[in-house]
Amino acid sequence: YDFPQWKFSLYFLETPKPESISKLPTTVGTLESEKYIWTMPDNYLELTHSWDDPADWKANNGNEEPHRGFGHIAFHIESDDLEASCEALQKEGVHFRKLPSQGRMHDVAFATDPDGYWIEVLARTKGGAALHGTSLAQTMLRVVDAE
């Protein structure tokens, strides 16, 4: 959705349940699709694109001193082989800060988006919740002196 008067766009990333897919609106910009956007029943991620970003703009990803705050978002993927899934993502051009074979934690990977924000990638635990496909798992924030 574009908001030209404020020079930004909103994008929504949702993984609908299989039984919901046939009920999804098919035409963007209709009253039906707008109602769905604002009443989505499942987890979703809202992304904002500011149109006036200068060419030399650099995101503060929240993982660099002295401005540590936002950590990352995480997604569960439907896979028995996290390493193979990461290799497939690399072939599609995804950059990784950490692969499952690196470091002490072998059940997690960290990719980055084009602005440098971290994205944790986890394989769904065998025998875990019966969720479908890829789904938003968590958001990690650092809080100092929460009181």
- Within a domain: residue 32? yes
Lowest-confidence region among 82-86, 99-103, 135-139, 142-146: 142-146
Q: Is 120 a catalytic residue?
A: yes
Q: Do 88 and 128 fall into the same domain?
A: yes
Q: Do 81 and 36 fall into the same domain?
A: no
Q: Do 78 and 133 fall into the same domain?
A: yes
Q: Do 75 and 110 fall into the same domain?
A: yes
- Tell which residue, 113, 94, 130, 110, has the closest CA to residue 47: 113
Q: Structure pTM?
A: 0.70
> How many Cβ atoms from other residues are within 10 Å of residue 1's Cβ?
12
Q: Do 39 and 75 fall into the same domain?
A: no
3-state secondary structure of 82: helix
E strands along the chain, which residues?
Answer: 2-3, 8-14, 44-50, 70-77, 95-98, 108-112, 118-123, 135-141
Most confident segment among 51-55, 89-93, 140-144: 89-93
- In this structure, what token pair is assigned to residue 133? 């496909």
Which CATH number fits the domain that encloses residue 74?
3.10.180.10
pLDDT band at 130 (very low <50, low <70, confident <90, very high): low
pLDDT score recorded for residue 107: 87
Residue 79 belongs to what domain range? 70-141
- Tell which residue, 97, 96, 99, has the closest CA to residue 108: 99
User: With left for phi above 0 and alpha for psi between -120 and 50, is residue 132 left, alpha or beta?
Assistant: beta
- Within a domain: residue 56? no
Q: Do 15 and 76 fall into the same domain?
A: no
Choose, from 32, 78, 83, 120, the residue flagged as catalytic. 120
Domain count within the chain:
2
